[in-house]
Structure 1
Amino acid sequence: MPKVTEAYREARRDEIIGAALRCFSTRGFQRTSMADIIAESGLSAGAIYGHFAGKKELFSAVATRILTARRSELQARRREGPPLSPGQVMATLIDGMRREPFSGVLIQLWAEAAIDKEMREPVHEVLAFVRETVRAAFAEWAAAEPGRVDSDPREWAARLTPVALGLMPGFMVQRAIAADFDEDAYLAMLAEALPH
């Protein structure tokens, strides 16, 4: 029997995550079954369960994929010039999320984590990943802008991060629910509302 390479395993995982993402975005987390994901992927149940223990683990992998892409965008933008201001950091993250075709999945993820203790741990891990990315970007900007903050840049960034991260769900929920929500105005206001 030929040996399966790690690259093949990763490609198969990505294929399964893609199928789960499509299912979650059209049916929602609660109404999506593992049978739906199996059918969408075109793979066998054994192929799916060989990579993921179940729907909750897949849901966490979907969120990780979306947020990892946002972190990569932030890092790419940072390489283009000086440290990004907090407003630029948040606008970059939120703009990337709104361009994600399956961004509504994140709203579902937050809601599930609020009521399901089993979902809370994997969501907390994803949130910790995003929180550290944002905190580091804020601290880098504060260190490059002496006198702009009232304390140590790392301490200041640690205090601002949870407040700024609250802007992401606010954007996503309003975008999903409010018919008159002006996405561009929201993103433009971030540069004014947060230190720049």
Structure 2
Amino acid sequence: MPRLTDARKELRRAQIAEAAVRCFDRNGLERTSIADITAESGLSAGSIYTHYRNKADLVQATAREVLAKRAEVLGEYAASDTPPGPDELLARLIAAIDPAEARVGVQTWGEATTDPVIRGIVVDMIDQMRAMLLDCVTAWLVKVEHQEPAAARERATPIAHRVSALYQAELLYTALRSPTQETAL
């Protein structure tokens, strides 16, 4: 049997993670089994276990994949000659919310209250997101508002915290909307 290339491995991991998100969205995090993900992905259990040790590892990978999407966009915003201000930044983040990812995210937050492994994943993801938001707001204050970098960083900290909190509130709001409400928007 030929060995998988690194590119093929990444595609396979993405295929599994996407199937997991669909299963988590449909069945809930707790009620989704590796067998469900196997059926959804069309791959063997062995293939899934080749890429992920267990369901917690898969949850972490799906969370990282969602965060990576946000990181790419936030990095572009921060590198821009005219980064968006906090209101525009929040509006762009909200516009990019995927309802299924929001539902899985909220389920993950719920699991984090009782599962220390999941809690570690959630805290890490929130901390990384907040750091990226801090970089964006700092870049806006420096490049658009023409503040000194040190002062901008200090001023950006509470602003980034508020943007993060409002973004999380929108994730929750999106997760709680029914599919009928989603199509009406």
TM-score where L is the length of structure 1: 0.79
Could you tell me how far apart the structure 1 residues matched to 2:14 and 2:108 are? 19
100 and 169 in structure 1: CA distance in 2 versus 1, 3 angstrom threshold = same
User: What are the Cα deviations for residues 48-100 of structure 1, in whole angstroms up to 9, with x where unaligned?
Assistant: 11111111111121122222212323344566651210111121112111x45
1:174 is the counterpart of 2:179: no
Which runs of structure 2 are paired with 1:1-196 in the superposition (5 Å)?
Answer: 1-76=1-76, 82-97=82-97, 99=98, 101-144=100-143, 145-146=145-146, 152-177=151-176
Could you tell me how far apart the structure 2 residues matched to 1:12 and 1:116 are? 27
User: What are the Cα deviations for residues 117-154 of structure 1, in whole angstroms up to 9, with x where unaligned?
Assistant: 11111222222221121000010111131469xx8111
143 and 79 in structure 1: CA distance in 2 versus 1, 3 angstrom threshold = closer
**Structure 1 residue 25: Cα displacement:** 0.9
Q: CA RMSD in A?
A: 2.6
Could you tell me how far apart the structure 2 residues matched to 1:85 and 1:177 are? 28
2:94–2:170: 8 Å Cα contact kept in structure 1?
Answer: yes
2:99–2:174: 8 Å Cα contact kept in structure 1?
Answer: no
**Structure 1 residue 172: Cα displacement:** 2.2
Flag the structure with higher helix content. 2
Could you tell me how far apart the structure 2 residues matched to 1:55 and 1:120 are? 14
Letter in 2 for 1:129: Q
Could you tell me how far apart the structure 1 residues matched to 2:171 and 2:101 are? 11
**Structure 1 residue 156: Cα displacement:** 1.6
Could you tell me how far apart the structure 2 residues matched to 1:156 and 1:76 are? 21
2:108–2:122: 8 Å Cα contact kept in structure 1?
Answer: yes
1:134–1:161: 8 Å Cα contact kept in structure 2?
Answer: yes
Stretches of structure 2 lacking an aligned partner (at least 5 in a row): none
Stretches of structure 1 lacking an aligned partner (at least 5 in a row): 184-196
2:112–2:122: 8 Å Cα contact kept in structure 1?
Answer: yes
